[in-house]
Chains A and B, each alone.
Chain A
Amino acid sequence: MAKGFAGGVWLNLDEKIDANLSVRSMPSPARLSYPLPRKGGKTASPLVKEGDRVLLGQPLCADGGAAFCPVHASVSGSVARIAERDIPYIGARTVVEVENDHRSAPFVQKPRARDYYAIPGRELLETVKNAGIESEGNRPLPLWLKLEEFACEKIKLLLIDAVEDEPYISRSSAVSARYPHDVAFGLYCLLKICGAAEAVLAAAKGSGAGPEKVTAAAGRIGYPLRICRARAKYPASDESLLPRELGLNGAGVLYPGDCYNVCRAVKETCPQISKIITVAGECVEKPQNVEVKLGTPVKDILDFCGLSQKPARVVLGGLMRGESVADLSVPIFKRTTAVLALPAVGKPCAAACINCGRCIEACPERLTPNFLARAAIKADFAACRALGAENCIGCGCCSYICPGRVPVAALIRTVQKEFEESPPK
């Protein structure tokens, strides 16, 4: 099988933020807010009322089945307000605001330790489902749904994606370097759940010692774990491209963060209430990986890490796919991978496509972004469909490479949103 995906771009990865790959834990802030999920026509309704006392790990909304995961309170305290709010970049949501009492009174008492290795797969899946773990990666899916899919398709190989191909971001390496035993144990559970025989840990060439630590921990548990090195060419870490990059087609892709969350859920009966994110950017004084409670406002996180200069743009997520926010009261939620505070970039020059075809070379999905952008500007959705706009993985390589500074990826994304809203008859 041919190795390596076609296209992609080499990004400057020199901005490695922390050679030790430590993870600092951030104290919970005074007030947290939880936007309740909404997908398709399905909206989560709150299970608590204003003024109610909530406990750490208490579900705030009902399970949305295959559509979305339940949200749990990440601190104990009282519900200060429940209101409809327009959250930048995810749209209008019901937001539950919780006043922290800093007692961390748990909703479920920690059960007595037992032989975790003896827990059967069905029970583990149930635990994952109740913990509301959302899989990392670009598609926000409940982890249990992904695992059931893997089990149905009789996936033989699990691929743990610790490839870091974007500047600043080092969270996957940090998780594997800091919590190798937890990741190895989580992976052991995941293998059991989907009945896969083998696991491979994918890391970028020349990345730190995190992967070796995890394989050592896996060896101690007693299952084999191989390391595969991928090129650090963006977007090698993409769910659909990584198997192609490593020549391991048909593998199910999961993330070190997933393994870590599963470990916490199994060993501590703790739902997903925190997230390890990268806080970086040229305006951040101490760039680092931080474990933050879900619901923490971005402002508090930037406070915690300190700013060295006034940022012009704050991005949630990586530079290539993250969304910029204008309002720093936006909370961290399950999908957030990073907070980047960036200085002003030069004013963009006027965009003009000169038809150079660099975007075609860079597109890992072998699309023709120049023609797609042209059709998108004309709002010719039929043409966009014919050119395969639905297959776009949104990596943004076309916009990155474009010498004419055409916002190609943004145009294609707009077309995809249009498709989602009005599916073809």
Chain B
Amino acid sequence: MIRANQNNGGLPERFGVGLNLETGRPPHLRGRDSVRSSMSDVLIALAPVLGIAVYYYGLRVLFLSAVSVACCIGLEALWGLLFRRSGGIGDLSAVVTGLITALNLPACAPWWFPILGAFVSIIIVKQIFGGLGKNVFNPALTAIVFLTVTWPKLNLIVPMPFPFGAAGSFRTTETALLSLKQGVTPTATLMEMFLGDRAGAAGTGAVFILLVAAVYLLYRRVIDWRTPAAMLATVAAVALLLPRCPAGRGVSALYELMSGSVLFAAVFMATDPVTSPSTGPGRAVSGVLCGLTTAFLRYNGIFPEGVYFALLLTNPLSTALDLGWLRLRQKRLAVAARKGGMSQ
């Protein structure tokens, strides 16, 4: 520590020579949370999801994830170098995009799927729109939709799980959603669905892990409860009203909630801050819209899973939903003010 020198007028004199004070606008204090810390939290929540996927589908999931994450980071860094954009890969958003894309692919997907997905998500959906915060669509989501509609068969053939150590050849089977579409009870029991021991995309099956991840993200205030809650409630409500499973309304609702990727999408994709509304009511409405569209596409679409397309349709509505709510609130305030003025 430097001691004050009382003889020559104290320290500012001594520091005065090089005292180059910076100026900045208030506040001079910033919170600890950053984009990077939020993304780290998402990665922490995704880690057990990846773990259970590896447990059920083998090391190939790890390989696909590694390819996907590496490509996303590489493309993001390359774009930053080419166009001299600041920010770069430090915010970890590319890692999250890569991992989410990989976890939504079936374990038997070809190795070049994630490469193509990374190109679509990072370059086309994110960077061309102006980078983090400017994209209209969720990058990982768009990559999945692109791969699904371009190679529908490859993405529909899903492997049965073979818990760690079992023989490594893929036995494909039909998913619970396909059974529901045909109006029969899925072969997997509800307990198997809950544990994720069923055919499907690698990371989207284990319901209990996804619930733990959701609780963690809610606790860390990275996600808001409104969108996922509204979305899942709507899907369940439609299933209760129009059950597709002959085993009953309640069972049908549970199958709808636990099958496909709706839970994963509700926790990790619908809550993407950039492509979802920022006001509470806007979030709730967007969740309901997404749930309705999901149910509609599941019941009537060509593909058994409708949640990706539903999110793709509700993503661009976020700003409109927010502004709609704000306008409504303003009108309400104006009416209240007028009434208050009259009563006086």
Contacts and interface: CB of A to CB of B under 8 A. Distances in A.
Contacts of A405: 30, 34
Interface string A381-425: 000001100000000100111111101011001000000000000
Interface in A289-328: 299, 302-304, 306-315, 317, 319-328
Contacts of A386: 330
The size bracket of the interface on A is 35 or more
Contacts of B276: 355
Given A350-B86, A353-B133, A312 B29 contact: no
A401 B31 contact: yes
Contacts of B165: none
Given A352-B131, A386-B330, A387-B326, A308 B21 contact: no
A303 B278 CA distance: 48
Nearest to B93: A354
B21 A307 contact: no
A399 B31 CA distance: 8
Nearest to A398: B27
Contact of A9 (B31, B86, B326, B330): B31
B22 A324 contact: yes
Contacts of B33: 358, 401, 403
B26 A355 contact: no
Contacts of A348: 30
B338 interface: no
A309 B35 contact: no
A360 interface: yes
Interface stretch (B8-16, B187-195, B204-212): B8-16
Interface of B is mostly: loop
Contacts of A326: 21-23
The size bracket of the interface on B is 35 or more
Interface of A is mostly: loop
Given A326-B21, A404-B133, A413-B25, A357 B278 contact: yes
Contact of B27 (A303, A353, A360, A409): A409
A327 to B, nearest CB: 8
Given A350-B86, A399-B27, A313 B2 contact: no
B24 interface: yes
Interface in B15-56: 15, 18-19, 21-31, 33-38
Interface string A200-239: 0000000000000000000000000000000000000000
A349 B1 CA distance: 30
B218 interface: no
Contacts of B4: 285, 306-307
A396 B27 contact: yes
Nearest to A320: B27
B12 A352 contact: no
Nearest to A12: B29
B1 A403 contact: no
A371 interface: yes
B256 interface: no
- Report which residue of B23, B34, B322, B326 has the largest number of chain A beta carbons within 10 angstroms of its beta carbon: B23
B12 A319 contact: no
Interface in B262-294: 273-274, 276-280, 283
B21 A370 contact: no
A151 interface: no
B26 A368 contact: no
Contacts of A87: none
A344 B28 CA distance: 11
Contacts of B34: 349, 403-405
Contact of B15 (A310, A313, A400): A310
B273 A371 contact: no
Interface in B149-182: none
Interface string B313-344: 00000100011001000100000000000000
In order of increasing CB-CB distance, the 7 nearest A-B pairs are: A357-B278, A303-B10, A410-B25, A396-B27, A356-B273, A306-B4, A307-B11
Interface of B: 1-2, 4, 9-13, 15, 18-19, 21-31, 33-38, 86-87, 90-91, 131-133, 221, 224, 273-274, 276-280, 283, 318, 322-323, 326, 330
Interface of A: 9, 11, 88, 167, 285, 299, 302-304, 306-315, 317, 319-328, 340, 342, 344-345, 348-350, 352-358, 360, 368, 370-371, 386-387, 396, 399-405, 407, 409-410, 413
14 contacts: A285-B1, A285-B4, A303-B12, A310-B18, A327-B21, A328-B12, A340-B28, A349-B91, A350-B86, A354-B133, A400-B27, A401-B33, A404-B35, A409-B27
